[in-house]
Chain A
Amino acid sequence: MNIYLDNAATTRVDKRVIKKMLPYFDNKYTNASSIHFPGQENDIEINNCKKEIASVLNGNSQNIVFTSGATESNNLIIKGVMRANVNKGKHFLISAIEHPCVMESARELLGEGFEFDYVPVDKNGVVVLSELEKKIRPDTVLISIMAVNNEIGSIQPMIEIGKIAKRNDIYFHTDAVQAVPYLKIDIKKWQVDFLSLSAHKFYGPKGVGLAYIDKNIKIRPIIVGGGQEDGIRAGTYNLPGIVGMTEALKLSYQERDSYLKEVRNIRDYFWQEIKKKIKNINLNGDLKNRTPNNLNIMFKGIEGEAILIDLSLKGIHVSTGSACSAQNLRTSSVIKALGVEDDYMNSNIRFTFGRYNKKSEVDYTIDKLIKTVERLRSFTPIK
């Protein structure tokens, strides 16, 4: 048994995507920055990819910059925009539930004399708009708020945040890495100036992503070199990755309606069953305002990592939060931001469903999960 319920950490690459990528390792291997004809053909292919992506995201293809993934995109946008716009101010805002790559980029800027504030979230993990408005200062340059949270799947009010940002003449960035295809990403409607994506979150390859960057706004690059991407991001174009990401993004939105229905059915079935069959569990966040692939469940009286390892020994692979949290074993800042009591901070499991999960896998998981919870609860000292 090998049941993968950690689709928010990464996804399996779609076979159609792999097929599309293969020629770019083989006979179409040329450097897209080369002047010769095979090189120029690849340069044209990159521009075609940008056009296709821009049409899916309802943005301008000139504003797409390919990167190694959303971690790089978030680093580039937050640090690059703040460093290049000190004439506007040195203050910015991020939500309290951002991914560590946003948090760490923000903290790095503190050492350079920049300042930032966290925008708090409510108990369902949605940013409080009145708090956002209160925290805006005359020298606020940038608001960075994720579109969908990685741990609890809560959906943020993009349109409203965009309005607030525009009204106050502040740039708006969103890390939309968990949003494909759950939200209809719409750069114009959301009024975002910057947006980050990673291909591997939507059945594309790892090591490729994009930064949508409004080219009318100043940005200082982090990776410098041969001047690719108008000097914003140097490095040889990752053709197979770019082609793969483009295909994965297109497929994700072409098949969106049926996928959302299927993943929601599986997710809801799982939640209904375990709610009936396992006592003393809570859903972290709200069932409605979250993406249909995500559940984050508190199992009272037992510890999350023990649940995770016990399930993984049975061939069921889940997570205690973001995959990054396994690296440092810190408790989740997201769950903490929801106002969950300290005693329950270590009892949470994230289940994220995906395109390849079957109902039979969910049935097997329910059965094994009941046994895991029973076993661990049989020897907990928590009353």
Chain B
Amino acid sequence: MALNYSKETLKHFRNPKNIGEIKNPDAFAEVGNMVCGDQLAFTLKVEKNKIKDIKFLSFGCASNIATASVMTEMVKGMTLEEAKKFDWNKIVGELEGLPSQKVHCSVLAVEGLKKVILNYEEKNKK
């Protein structure tokens, strides 16, 4: 079982989209940890109940970076309800497959997405 990243994964690893931090974000969330070797920090901007902007920071492997990159691209413009139902399989599809031992990276990215939306909802409870 060797590591064989798809061209698409390597492309997102080399030039990740939405990398960085949003200034004055509406929400923030962190998932994973250094011990496991993958940590993601998301910042979120919401407008009219839709994801206006989402950015991430990564301490992680190539697929950790690529999955967060492709996911943030895909969820931009979604309503929060849509984004909460976002399926990690879509990331794997968009990246043209992930090595089996790296599929958990896509699950972590989605976990981070849900957590940052939850943080937003908690802050904006009426």
List residues of chain A with CB under 8 Å of any chain B CB. Answer: 301-306, 309-310, 313, 326-329, 331, 342-346, 379-382
Contact residues in B for A380 (Cβ distance below 8 Å): 57-59
B30 contacts chain A at the CB level, 8 A cutoff: yes
Q: Can you list 25 A-B pairs with a CB-CB distance of less than 8 A?
A: A303-B60, A303-B61, A305-B61, A306-B62, A309-B5, A309-B10, A309-B13, A309-B62, A313-B10, A327-B2, A328-B101, A342-B35, A343-B35, A346-B34, A346-B35, A346-B36, A379-B57, A379-B58, A380-B57, A380-B58, A380-B59, A381-B30, A381-B39, A381-B40, A382-B59
Given contacts A381-B30, A381-B39, A381-B57, contact A329 B62 (CB under 8 A): no
A110 CA / B3 CA spacing, docked (Å): 31
In the complex, besides A303-B64, A304-B37, A382-B39, 20 extra interface pairs with C-beta distance below 8 angstroms are: A305-B62, A306-B13, A309-B10, A309-B61, A309-B62, A310-B14, A313-B10, A326-B2, A326-B3, A328-B101, A331-B37, A342-B34, A343-B34, A345-B35, A346-B36, A379-B56, A379-B58, A380-B57, A380-B58, A381-B57
Nearest 5 Cβ contacts at the A-B interface: A346-B37, A381-B41, A381-B57, A305-B61, A309-B62
A305 CA / B60 CA spacing, docked (Å): 8
A346 CA / B64 CA spacing, docked (Å): 13
A173 CA / B39 CA spacing, docked (Å): 41
Dominant secondary structure of chain B at its interface with chain A: mixed
Contact residues in B for A331 (Cβ distance below 8 Å): 37
List residues of chain B with CB under 8 Å of any chain A CB. Answer: 1-3, 5, 10, 13-14, 16, 19-20, 30, 34-41, 56-62, 64-65, 101
Given contacts A342-B34, A345-B37, A380-B57, contact A306 B101 (CB under 8 A): no
Asked if A303 contacts B5 (CB within 8 A), the reply is no
A380 CA / B37 CA spacing, docked (Å): 12
A309 CA / B37 CA spacing, docked (Å): 15
Contact residues in B for A327 (Cβ distance below 8 Å): 1-2
Asked if A306 contacts B34 (CB within 8 A), the reply is no
Asked if B34 contacts A382 (CB within 8 A), the reply is yes
Contact residues in A for B3 (Cβ distance below 8 Å): 326
Contact residues in B for A305 (Cβ distance below 8 Å): 37, 61-62
Within the complex, the shortest CB–CB distance from A248 to chain B, in Å, comes to 26
A7 CA / B61 CA spacing, docked (Å): 23
Contact residues in A for B60 (Cβ distance below 8 Å): 303, 306
The CB with the most chain A CB atoms within 10 A, among B16, B36, B56, B60, is that of: B60
Asked if B35 contacts A301 (CB within 8 A), the reply is no
Contact residues in B for A306 (Cβ distance below 8 Å): 13, 60-62, 64-65
A304 CA / B34 CA spacing, docked (Å): 11
A164 CA / B40 CA spacing, docked (Å): 50
A303 CA / B35 CA spacing, docked (Å): 10
Contact residues in B for A346 (Cβ distance below 8 Å): 34-37
Within the complex, the shortest CB–CB distance from A296 to chain B, in Å, comes to 16
Given contacts A303-B64, A327-B1, A342-B34, contact A379 B101 (CB under 8 A): no
Within the complex, the shortest CB–CB distance from A255 to chain B, in Å, comes to 33
Within the complex, the shortest CB–CB distance from A319 to chain B, in Å, comes to 12
With both beta carbons as reference points, the residue of chain B lying nearest to A302 in the complex is identified as B59
A313 CA / B10 CA spacing, docked (Å): 9
With both beta carbons as reference points, the residue of chain B lying nearest to A343 in the complex is identified as B34
